[in-house]
Structures are given as C-alpha cells and as structure tokens.
C-alpha cells in the first residue's frame, strides 16, 4: 500500500485544533464560524482536562465563566447567537450529553492523523 505524507505546519494550540477540524471538514460539514467556536471550546476543554480530568472538564466547559470567555474570544459574540451555534453543534452531534464528542478533540501536541481509504478500485 502506498502512503502519502502531507505535513501541515501550525503555530500554537489554537492553530493545530483549527487545522485539524478543517482537514476533517468532509466528515462533519461545520461552517467556518462553528469551527471557530469549536476550536475555542476545545482549547478551554483541553486546559480544564489537564487540570481536573475528563468528567469535570466537560462540566466546567459549560459554566457561565467559560461561556463568557469563549464568547469574548469570538469578538464578544452575543449570548443568543452563541446559544444558536451551540444548538447547531448539538444537532450535528458535535456536542453530545453536554460534552464535545471525543473524535473532534485532537491531541494538542504533535500527532499524526492517518486516513485510510478502503474498498476496491474498478
């Protein structure tokens, strides 16, 4: 089997998360604004998880202070607009049971994303 290596340069945590979500666009079809919002949420979630663990991080992600922090990082997005985006992410199964679905959260350090095509070529 032939391998194709595509290196994607990045600058910092936020950039690697955003590029990871952009690479996976064909699987999730999130809008640019949804990707921006989810990127901010993943960064905050990752910081919380490293301090408090997975379960508490999921709860704390949606507390008032963190929601304000996320909205502020998105040019002070209004709460109604923010809530609409959260609803869209729930409908698209990105947020499930008040937590970000695991496959949307990349390791924040260097990692390899391997995509395998399976099937047959006629």
Tens-of-pLDDT digits for all 122 residues of the chain?
677 778 888 888 899 899 999 988 988 999 999 999 999 999 999 999 999 999 899 999 999 999 999 999 999 999 999 999 999 999 999 999 989 999 999 887 767 777 777 777 77
Model pLDDT, residue 1 = 65
- Report the distance separating Cα 21 and Cα 104, nearest Å: 7
Task: Specify the pLDDT at position 6.
Answer: 80
Query: Tokens 């391997």 sit at which residue?
Result: 114
> Is-contact 113 20, C-beta < 8 A?
yes
pLDDT at 110 (0 to 100): 67
């Amino acid at each position: 089997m032939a391998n194709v290596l595509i290196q994607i340069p990045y600058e910092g945590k936020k950039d690697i998360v955003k590029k990871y979500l952009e690479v996976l666009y064909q699987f999730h079809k999130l809008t640019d604004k949804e990707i921006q919002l989810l990127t901010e949420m993943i960064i905050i979630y990752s910081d919380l998880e490293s301090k408090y663990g997975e379960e508490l991080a999921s709860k704390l992600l949606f507390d008032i202070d963190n929601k304000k922090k996320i909205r502020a990082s998105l040019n002070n997005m209004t709460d109604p607009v923010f809530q609409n985006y959260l609803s869209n992410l729930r409908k698209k199964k990105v947020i499930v049971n008040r937590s970000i679905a695991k496959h949307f959260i990349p390791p924040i350090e260097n990692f390899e994303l391997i995509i395998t095509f399976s099937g047959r070529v006629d």
